[in-house]
Amino acid sequence: MITKEVVLAALRPIAEPTLQRSLVEMQWIRDVMVKENRISLTVVALDNSEQLQKALDKEIKDRLVQAGLADIHIRHREASEAERETAGLARKDEAGGGHNPKGHGVGLEKAALMDPSSGVHFIAIASGKGGVGKSTITANLAVSLARQGKRVGLIDADIYGFSIPDMMGIEELPQVEEGSIVPVERFGVKVMSMGFFIRENNPVIWRGPMLGRMLRQFLGDVQWGELDYLLLDLPPGTGDIALDVHQMLPQSKEIIVTTPHATAAFVAARAGAMALQTNHEVLGVVENMSYYECSACGQRDYIFGRGGGARLAETLHTELLAQIPLGIPDNHLSEPDFSPSIYKADTRTGSLYSEMAAAIIRKCEKD
């Protein structure tokens, strides 16, 4: 049986083209996933030119074919600032004036935020498919954490389907101070989203590497200040952004969102499996649209079936954090703190989010 260890042993002789050091020993062969006769992996390098990518692809495939693999999928990513620093390198400043040994600017802030010793709890909210209410869960969880006195940031990392600013009723735009971006604060949550930079709801037509650069910018070029929690609303599925989060934030934990429907839970299991395969703790499952409760009689109708969230939690060996009913907040445009999707703390659904936030705090701060 071919394992991850066998793959890494086969690739150990391959050197990073610029540094001439083993990619495996530098831990620049990432996200190795082997299933039957298929393998996928990510290669980090200093130079991602097409010519060097082709040369690396050929050498990697030749060695893996010799090891008995045939279906080989390779992704390439340019080394981040933190990875360059770990390798003993640093980018030159834009003026070409040499290295930046004091660490002023974006690199230091990014390293400080992403350093496991920073004390920031990173929580990625994921789903297997769209339309399950993942962004609604993320926004309300962030607000509920803030209501409990936590310093919270929120990155709308669903770059193709950004919706957090609209859901939270944000109308202002981020400001730029001293070369870095100041996030918009709403309900005590600092928010950054691609939606702030796209005019008139135009579509985002980007390839994978551009998505990764935007995520790095959100992490490194934003004045987050001191945070206790940074939530990331991921795109549905297991694509490039999810992989980039797992690479950039190895200490990140994950929450999986599903509906009670069996198919939705089945698809969501893939997102959870990806987190587990990349050694990310799954904090739990949130079942959204669990039921519809009649406002007149209190009777519950299980429109999308029952049990999907519990079965998913059992599959992922985690717990069911909450079951959120189908509905929308009873908010009015005339209210000064109007938002289309944020539940008030004193409502029934708002209390469910408060309980979920308290559970997350206990899990993350148990030490």
Give me the CATH number covering residue 20: 3.30.300.130
- Rounded Cα distance between 336 and 221, Å, is 31
pLDDT(110) > 50: no
Q: Which residue has the tokens 């009777």?
A: 299
| Structural domains of the chain, count | 2
Report if residue 278 sits inside a domain.
yes
pLDDT(266) > 70: yes
Helix (DSSP H) and strand (DSSP E) numbers for the chain: 11, 15
Q: How many residues does the chain have?
A: 367
Same domain, 35 and 180: no
More confident of the two residues 324 and 365: 324
Residue-number span of the structural domain to which 33 is assigned: 4-90
The pLDDT of residue 97 is 38
CA 209 to chain centre: 15
Same domain, 8 and 83: yes
Q: Which DSSP state fits 72?
A: E
* Residue 198 pLDDT grade (very low, low, confident, very high; cuts 50, 70, 90): low
Report if residue 95 sits inside a domain.
no
CA 38 to chain centre: 25
Last residue of a domain, one of 44, 60, 90: 90
Q: Name the CA radius of gyration of the chain, rounded.
A: 22
Report if residue 299 sits inside a domain.
yes
The pLDDT of residue 83 is 67
* Residue 95 pLDDT grade (very low, low, confident, very high; cuts 50, 70, 90): very low
Same domain, 133 and 197: yes
- Rounded Cα distance between 70 and 108, Å, is 42
- Rounded Cα distance between 123 and 276, Å, is 14
- pTM, rounded to two decimals: 0.67
Which percentage of the chain shows pLDDT scores above 90? Answer: 30
pLDDT(141) > 90: yes
- Rounded Cα distance between 134 and 255, Å, is 10
Last residue of a domain, one of 90, 120, 141: 90
User: Closest Cα to residue 287, out of 248, 335, 326, 328?
Assistant: 326
pLDDT(183) > 50: yes
Do 312 and 272 meet the contact criterion of CB atoms below 8 Å apart?
Answer: yes
Query: Which residues fall within 8 angstroms of residue 22, CB to CB, at 6 or more apart?
Result: 12, 13, 14, 15, 16
The pLDDT of residue 152 is 94
Same domain, 128 and 76: no
Rounded to the nearest integer, the mean pLDDT of the chain is 81
Same domain, 223 and 79: no
Same domain, 84 and 134: no
- Rounded Cα distance between 241 and 261, Å, is 25
- Rounded Cα distance between 272 and 256, Å, is 6
Work out the average pLDDT over 258-286: 85
Last residue of a domain, one of 24, 56, 90: 90
pLDDT(100) > 60: no
Same domain, 124 and 253: yes
Encode pLDDT of 213-255 as tens digits.
Answer: 677 778 878 888 889 999 999 887 755 666 677 677 778 899 9
> Can you give the CATH number for the domain in which 116 is found?
3.40.50.300
- Give the least confident one: 133-142, 241-250, 304-313: 241-250
pLDDT(85) > 80: no
Report if residue 101 sits inside a domain.
no
Same domain, 307 and 275: yes
- Rounded Cα distance between 284 and 197, Å, is 32
More confident of the two residues 53 and 109: 53
Which percentage of the chain shows pLDDT scores above 70? Answer: 81
Token pair for residue 303?
Answer: 């429109």
Same domain, 143 and 50: no
